Amino acid sequence: MNLKGIHHVSALTAKAPENFKFYTEVMGLRLIKKTVNQDDTSVYHLFYGDEKGNPGTELTFFEIPMAGRNHDGNNSISAISLRVNNDDALHYWQGRLKDHGIETEGIKDRAGRSTLAFRDPEGQRMILVSDENNRGVVGGQPWSKSTTPKEHAIVGLGPVRLTVPAAEPTIGVLTELLGFRKKGSYSPELAGQPDIVVLETGEGGSGAEIHVEERNDLPQERLGRGGVHHVAFRVDNEEELRDWIEKVQTSRFPNSGFVDRFYFKSLYFREPNRILFELATDGPGFDTDEELEHLGESLALPPFLEPHREDIEAKLKPLQTKQ
């Protein structure tokens, strides 16, 4: 068994319409699925991605209206990366974000790659990372109707950073249970802190990396809008997922067991620093219940929620989708 890379990352938003506007109009991503939180159908669960919503390109948001702001800290997924093709694209994004009133930290080297860090309007910690000279998991295909030029468009998820009070327990789960490999390390931005450890899985590269930052000087993060709920890793198919479930259960990690999310199948568990991991299958995919050309245009519901469509739609505010 071998995890193939990052499948998706799920974060929190307090305002789904504003979130939709920013990630489609400013960031140029495609809304590939407009659905609801299966655990609370009164709010949206929005999926953004590439042309087809390929695994490894999916950035998702749970809507929690009136959620307080995220209090950054420890035991957290402290940064999400989005891949672009090359260093030139970072210069384009530096100007584009400035034009939309978004401040950036400037282009910096992280783990041997050029990067551009910024926060979205709700404070979400984002890093654009250049794939120039990157080898490993191939990126996705930008949406043909994106608001950004194809040559500069976002092509998928990049490294995910975890910030924990003690790195070794998290690194142990990633390497010994999940099969990640230690790739190297790089210096943190704050002097006096341990190096950030880089781990990779599958074919490696920016689409298959986790960066573990040890910070024992921080309080525990209080999750809110602008925070990240969980990171999911790619599993090839359902048969392999069931093997992973057995392995996680044998290792005595409390876990969700098999979960059918309709667009993919999943397992959830928390590692020792309380960060939520998900293992998710590559399929069936987001065109299971919608034609590829019309992904995200209407509210999609899994079959078990379809009988409740009228009640669900009545509780949701429109996103004003114009696709």
In a domain, 42, yes or no: yes
Determine the Cα–Cα distance for residues 115 and 264; give it in Å rounded to an integer: 31
CATH number at residue 16: 3.10.180.10
| Three-class secondary structure of residue 18 per DSSP | helix
Query: What pLDDT is attached to residue 323?
Result: 43
In a domain, 321, yes or no: no
2 falls in which pLDDT band (50, 70, 90)? very high
pLDDT-above-90 percentage for the chain: 95
72-95 pLDDT tens trace = 999 999 999 999 999 999 999 999
Query: What pLDDT is attached to residue 321?
Result: 45
What number of helices (H) and strands (E) belong to the chain? 5, 17
In a domain, 290, yes or no: no
Query: What pLDDT is attached to residue 155?
Result: 97
In a domain, 275, yes or no: yes
In a domain, 320, yes or no: no
Segment 222-241 shows an average pLDDT of: 98
195-208 pLDDT tens trace = 999 999 999 999 99
Domains of the chain: total: 1
Q: Is the pLDDT of residue 7 over 80?
A: yes
Determine the Cα–Cα distance for residues 287 and 30; give it in Å rounded to an integer: 13
The CA dihedral of 130, 12, 41, 51, to the nearest 10 degrees, is: -10
111-121 pLDDT tens trace = 999 999 999 99
Q: Is the pLDDT of residue 169 over 70?
A: yes
Segment 217-232 shows an average pLDDT of: 98
In a domain, 297, yes or no: no
Mean pLDDT score across all residues of the chain: 96
Segment 18-44 shows an average pLDDT of: 96
65-75 pLDDT tens trace = 999 999 999 99
For 189, list phi and psi in degrees, rounded to 5: -75, -30
39 falls in which pLDDT band (50, 70, 90)? confident
Determine the Cα–Cα distance for residues 317 and 97; give it in Å rounded to an integer: 27
Sign of CA dihedral 129, 295, 124, 103: positive
Determine the Cα–Cα distance for residues 310 and 36; give it in Å rounded to an integer: 13
Q: Is the pLDDT of residue 174 over 70?
A: yes
Provide the domain limits for residue 96: 6-284
Burial profile 180-202: b = 16 or more Cβ within 10 angstroms, e = fewer: beebeeeeeeeeeeeebbbbbbb
Beta-ladder partners of 277:
231, 269
In a domain, 158, yes or no: yes
Query: What pLDDT is attached to residue 322?
Result: 47
Determine the Cα–Cα distance for residues 167 and 214; give it in Å rounded to an integer: 5
In a domain, 313, yes or no: no
Segment 228-237 shows an average pLDDT of: 98
211 falls in which pLDDT band (50, 70, 90)? very high
